[in-house]
Amino acid sequence: MKVIRKNKIIRSDPKENPNGTPLEKTLDIDLGTQIIPKERYTSKEFMEKEWETIWTKVWLLGCREDQIPDPGDYICTNIGRESVLIVRQRDGGFKAFHNVCMHRGNRLADEGLGHAEPFVCGYHGWKYDSDGSFADIPDIETFPQGKPPCNGLSELPCDTWASFVWFSLNVQVEPLEEYLGELIGHFEPYHFERMAMTRWVTAEWDCNWKASVDAFAESYHTAQTHPQLLWYLEDLDLQIDLYDRHSRYLVPFGLLSPRVESVGEIPPPLKAMLHSAGMDPASYEGSMNDIRVAVQQYKRETQIEQGKDFSELHDEQLTDDFNYLVFPNVTTNTHSDDLMLFRHRPHPDDPNKMFFDIWMFELIPEGEEWPPLPKHDFRPAGSSRSLGIVIDQDASNLATVQEGMNSAGFPGLWLSDQELRLRHFHKTISDYVGE
């Protein structure tokens, strides 16, 4: 395949929707061209630096609010060597705690969802209220020093935004809104609170967490790894925007990649896009080049009858993928009708392993019943069950990438401009680790 043409990508005038997601391209910044040392992906020493300067300093995504709807509901989520309980409170709010009993350090819960009123430690039976306070210490009179000099569980910062619950291992962390920064204005027009969670999978992968982030933050690999997507999206001429610590690129959907030649007939992936928008591919009379705009117009015109409110979104958001990296470890494929959110979590002690979380959400038309919350589906390392064709294709690269990175013959990452977000990701990591 070779590049034979350039797509004419029609974009909205941001002035028509000034409160919508910013569309402007950020100013390009010079991030150099130097190699990214492979030790960032392979060494325990760098992993430890990341733990001290990133994971224990930033805000981290914990769960969706509706995963723990009632007082006493909790989710236990692990991040590196730490385990955190996020608990719904009686006043409807949330609190986060280290998942550790203050007696002799036992874990109070296993990873996943649960309900505890109170939390009862399985070792000697210490009890904690859902607000973390001591509820009962059996035989307290045999502790001559009395209760531990704290109110109960070790509390962590916890906040909510856009229907998600966030926590931090850093008790001095800045406010969540400040941390998310410009992304708040980017995401709010999508109204994630109108989307239902439909899938929750965790896969244990044999690669560093950053190798996984990388795979979701550049489109250079699309032609080789996901050739089927070339019949559906632009992979070459993407707007890349670099913010303070976060980044994004905008991927136009509903057109052919410049890497493939039109075959005259509308290919099945574009027919599927027409169909999922509610259009009849058989009666579509426009040209192939007009499909993206036709879908945008159709969705705009029929939004009320479809029970959807796209009034805050620009036209391109009705078709395209706005692909974000929320530093350090959340990537999103953000669409008008769905959100594909991935969490890339580090392993407790092995830089060659990680946990990949898939959280899928779908916009529920007004008046329609929401589906039940999905059950957690855990795939241990080596599982051969499919995660979906595109993610399977990504996953198939990552174990061999990690093996290769550990080779004496590989010095580090040699990045193109198409991989500029990876360079920015490493610049942000450098800012945190102080290198």
Looking at beta carbons only, is 6 or 104 nearer to ligand FES? 104
Q: Is 101 in the site for ligand FES (CB under 6 A)?
A: yes
Tokens 């550990």 — which residue?
406
Burial 32-64 (b: 16+ CB within 10 A, else e): eeeebebebbbeeebbebbbebbbbbbbbbbbb
Q: Is 147 in the site for ligand FES (CB under 6 A)?
A: no
Q: Is 81 in the site for ligand FES (CB under 6 A)?
A: no
Looking at beta carbons only, is 100 or 326 nearer to ligand FES? 100
Q: Residue 162's Cα: distance from chain center in Å?
A: 13
Q: Measured from the CB of residue 111, what is the shortest distance to ligand FES in angstroms?
A: 18
Looking at beta carbons only, is 126 or 253 nearer to ligand FES? 126
Looking at beta carbons only, is 121 or 173 nearer to ligand FES? 121
Q: Measured from the CB of residue 135, what is the shortest distance to ligand FES in angstroms?
A: 12
* Residue 336, burial from CB neighbour count under 10 angstroms (0-12, 13-18, 19+): buried
The 3-state DSSP class for residue 34 equals: coil
Looking at beta carbons only, is 136 or 301 nearer to ligand FES? 136
Q: Give the integer Cα–Cα distance in Å for 1 and 4.
A: 9
Looking at beta carbons only, is 83 or 331 nearer to ligand FES? 83
Beta bridge partners of 330: 326, 343
Q: Give the integer Cα–Cα distance in Å for 190 and 339.
A: 9
Q: Is 143 in the site for ligand FES (CB under 6 A)?
A: no
Q: Is 124 in the site for ligand FES (CB under 6 A)?
A: yes
- Contacts made by residues 130-137, CB under 8 angstroms, sequence distance 24+: 130/71, 130/72, 130/74, 130/87, 130/88, 130/89, 130/90, 130/95, 131/87, 131/89, 131/90, 131/95, 132/87, 132/95, 132/97, 134/102, 137/103
Residues 109/96, Cβ–Cβ less than 8 Å: no
Q: Is 121 in the site for ligand FES (CB under 6 A)?
A: yes
Q: Measured from the CB of residue 317, what is the shortest distance to ligand FES in angstroms?
A: 49
Choose which of 6, 44, 104, 300 interacts with ligand FES (CB under 6 A): 104
Q: Is 353 in the site for ligand FES (CB under 6 A)?
A: no
Q: Measured from the CB of residue 122, what is the shortest distance to ligand FES in angstroms?
A: 7
Q: Give the integer Cα–Cα distance in Å for 59 and 413.
A: 27
Q: Is 123 in the site for ligand FES (CB under 6 A)?
A: yes
Q: What is the DSSP letter of 275?
A: H
Choose which of 41, 94, 119, 126 interacts with ligand FES (CB under 6 A): 126
**Interaxial angle between packed helices 268-277 and 291-302, expressed in degrees from 0 to 180 and rounded to the nearest 10:** 10
Q: Residue 288's Cα: distance from chain center in Å?
A: 32
How many residues at the interface with ligand FES, by CB under 6 A?
9
Looking at beta carbons only, is 100 or 279 nearer to ligand FES? 100
Q: Measured from the CB of residue 126, what is the shortest distance to ligand FES in angstroms?
A: 4
Q: Is 107 in the site for ligand FES (CB under 6 A)?
A: no
> Quick one: which segment of 119-127, 172-180, 219-227, 404-412 binds ligand FES (CB under 6 A)?
119-127
Q: Is 306 in the site for ligand FES (CB under 6 A)?
A: no
Instruction: Say which residues have a Cβ less than 8 Å from residue 169's Cβ, sequence separation at least 6.
Output: 55, 56, 57, 60, 79, 82, 84, 156
* Residue 217, burial from CB neighbour count under 10 angstroms (0-12, 13-18, 19+): buried
Choose which of 49, 103, 191, 275 interacts with ligand FES (CB under 6 A): 103
Q: Measured from the CB of residue 155, what is the shortest distance to ligand FES in angstroms?
A: 17
Tokens at residue 347, please?
Answer: 């392993």
Looking at beta carbons only, is 148 or 307 nearer to ligand FES? 148
Tokens at residue 291, please?
Answer: 């499909």
Looking at beta carbons only, is 7 or 154 nearer to ligand FES? 154
Q: Measured from the CB of residue 136, what is the shortest distance to ligand FES in angstroms?
A: 10
Q: Is 106 in the site for ligand FES (CB under 6 A)?
A: yes
Residues 259/3, Cβ–Cβ less than 8 Å: yes
Looking at beta carbons only, is 129 or 316 nearer to ligand FES? 129
- State the residues that interact with ligand FES by CB under 6 A: 101, 103-104, 106, 121, 123-126
